[in-house]
Amino acid sequence: MKIDGTTRLYGIIGNPVGHSLSPVMHNAAFDSLGENRVYLPFEVEDLGAALYGMRALGIEGASVTIPHKEAVLAYLDRLDPVAEKIGAVNTIRLERSESTQEKLLCGYNTDWLGAVRPLQEQLELRGKSAIVLGAGGSARAIGFGLLEAGAALTLCSRTESRGRALASALGCDWSPLAEAENLEGDILINATSVGMSPFEDKSPVAPGVAASYQVVMDIVYAPLTTRLLADAQLSGCRVVGGLEMLLQQGAAQFELWTSLKAPVDIMRRALLEAISPRP
């Protein structure tokens, strides 16, 4: 990769971001297409200052991750209608006003596509029932996507006030996380950080709970097979790992930023090489 005065800059905004595989995925895509673009991680505490800098420096696009997906809305100039409806942003694109040529930060959400696309490869979502664990930005986007696809939705969260608020916003049911094992459905999705380092040995639900679902999905992608997914596989469930959601939402981001078709196979290979243990 040759970096010069014409290199176009992208990145990920979050805290922490050192573990993120998004730079691996997007830089592999840029390289494979011969694009003079680079994607960097930015650990951000002062969100407003970071976005001011993004506009001033002409950074053309950014991914947004924990804990900024909802807070970032207050700093954007324009929201895509889908992102506005979801109430969370995971993608920013620098655009120019047609009338004034002013630089505008415009917010989008591709998380819902990252979840819905791989789930649709496993089963028809319309008419199915889904249980989503969590009440953060990812749960919000996934819940929106499931409802748009025609599935029935129940949210489960540890914090009642936050869970009920999100359920109200989405127009779905809510249940305490502790009671998730008593629910029934076709799809179970973990949209919490349970299962991520340093809690790789943890699952958001008790062993055996996954057995009553057709498909189990976990948004955690490190490790590739979380405790939840391992339990689900032992029970004969079809599983969708977090790496596939990361890939699909990233492919949608890439196309939004570049207007080019994302090289999905190359992006997937780069992710697998980055996360797989080396001999």
| pLDDT (0 to 100) of residue 147 | 97
State the Cα–Cα distance between residues 203 and 195, nearest whole angstrom.
Answer: 6
Q: Where are the domains of the chain?
A: 8-109+244-275, 112-240
| pLDDT (0 to 100) of residue 39 | 98
Q: State the residue for tokens 């179970």.
A: 188
Closest CA to 63 of 86, 81, 46, 39: 39
| pLDDT (0 to 100) of residue 19 | 85
Structure confidence by residue, pLDDT tens digits, 171-182? 999 999 999 999
Q: Which residues pair with 95 in a beta bridge?
A: 104
Q: Is there a cis peptide before residue 204, judged by omega within 30 degrees of 0?
A: no
Q: Which two tokens stand for residue 16?
A: 């922490």
112-240 topology per CATH: Rossmann fold (3.40.50)
- Would you say residue 274 has pLDDT above 80? yes
Query: What's the CA dihedral at 166, 122, 187, 63 to 10 degrees?
Result: -30
| pLDDT (0 to 100) of residue 196 | 86
Structure confidence by residue, pLDDT tens digits, 24-46? 999 999 999 999 999 999 999 99
Architecture of domain 8-109+244-275: 3-Layer(aba) Sandwich (3.40)
Task: Write out the DSSP string of 108-148.
Answer: E--HHHHHHHHHHTTS--TT-EEEEE--SHHHHHHHHHHHH
Residue type for position 222: A
Q: What average pLDDT does range 188-197 have in this prediction? A: 92
Q: What average pLDDT does range 51-77 have in this prediction? A: 95
Active site residues: 69
- Would you say residue 186 has pLDDT above 70? yes
| pLDDT (0 to 100) of residue 278 | 53
Q: What average pLDDT does range 145-169 have in this prediction? A: 96
Closest CA to 91 of 61, 119, 121: 61
State the Cα–Cα distance between residues 221 and 200, nearest whole angstrom.
Answer: 11
Q: Which two tokens stand for residue 108?
A: 């989008």
- Would you say residue 17 has pLDDT above 60? yes
- Would you say residue 101 has pLDDT above 90? no
Domains 8-109+244-275 and 112-240 share a fold: yes
| pLDDT (0 to 100) of residue 76 | 98
Q: In what order do the strands lie in the sheet with 8-14?
A: 37-43, 8-14, 61-64, 91-96, 103-108, 78-79
| pLDDT (0 to 100) of residue 66 | 86
